[in-house]
Amino acid sequence: MRLKGLILDPTSDVPVVILREEGGTVFLPIWIGVFEANAIALALEGVQPPRPMTHDLLRSVVEALGATLERIEIHSLIEGTFHARLRLHRGAGRASESDAMPGEIEVDARPSDAVALALRLGAPIWIAREVLDGALSTQQASEAEDDRKLREWLENARPEDLGKYRM
């Protein structure tokens, strides 16, 4: 998946990160917090703040430890909440005996934080197929409910309900 954009939900004024399947037509919207949206926007625009923000600090820590962010994974959708993890790799060499062993490191993360870090480190974004399927069926159910509400409203609408847009 690739980050397609960052928008503001017009009905709730909540930021939404839009992920898009590479070469495909599948989009995955994830509603996020304002601070995380700001961190993502700064990375998208290539803005370097005078002092490191939280995600910049984390990038520096990853690099200082000699690790690489191999990818982020949005691995589950539980009760409407997406869950993600960072997949880090620590190289074969160790600076001292007290250093952590090399290899794979998995860290739990919120998707918004994971995306903000992936942008800073150039890491790919992976979405589990079950998450896409679950999100799509949730969106379809939501759209069906919206369609039902609109149809019901239109069936019960009176001419005066339409204001200046009467037919």
pLDDT digits (tens, 9 = 90+) for 137-151: 555 445 555 555 555
HEC assignment per residue over 82-106: EEEEEEEEECCCCCCCCCCCCEEEE
Please state the length of the chain: 167
Cβ count within 10 A of residue 19: 22
| pLDDT tens profile 56-76 | 999 999 999 999 999 999 999
- Judge whether residue 37 has pLDDT over 70: yes
| pLDDT tens profile 71-106 | 999 999 998 899 999 999 987 555 555 555 568 999
Q: Which two tokens stand for residue 8?
A: 């503001």
* Cβ atoms of residues 31 and 9 within 8 Å: yes
pLDDT at res. 149: 57
Residues near 2 by Cβ (< 8 Å), separated by ≥ 6? 19, 20, 22, 125
- Backbone Cα Rg of the chain: 21
* Cβ atoms of residues 110 and 36 within 8 Å: yes
pLDDT at res. 114: 97
pLDDT at res. 108: 97
The H or E element containing residue 137 is helix 129-156
What are φ and ψ of residue 93, in 5° steps?
A: -85, 150
In this prediction the pTM is 0.74
Q: Which two tokens stand for residue 125?
A: 């974004």
Which residue in 156, 109, 132, 134 sits closest to 28, CA to CA? 132
Q: Show the domains of the chain with their CATH numbers.
A: 2-130 (3.10.690.10)
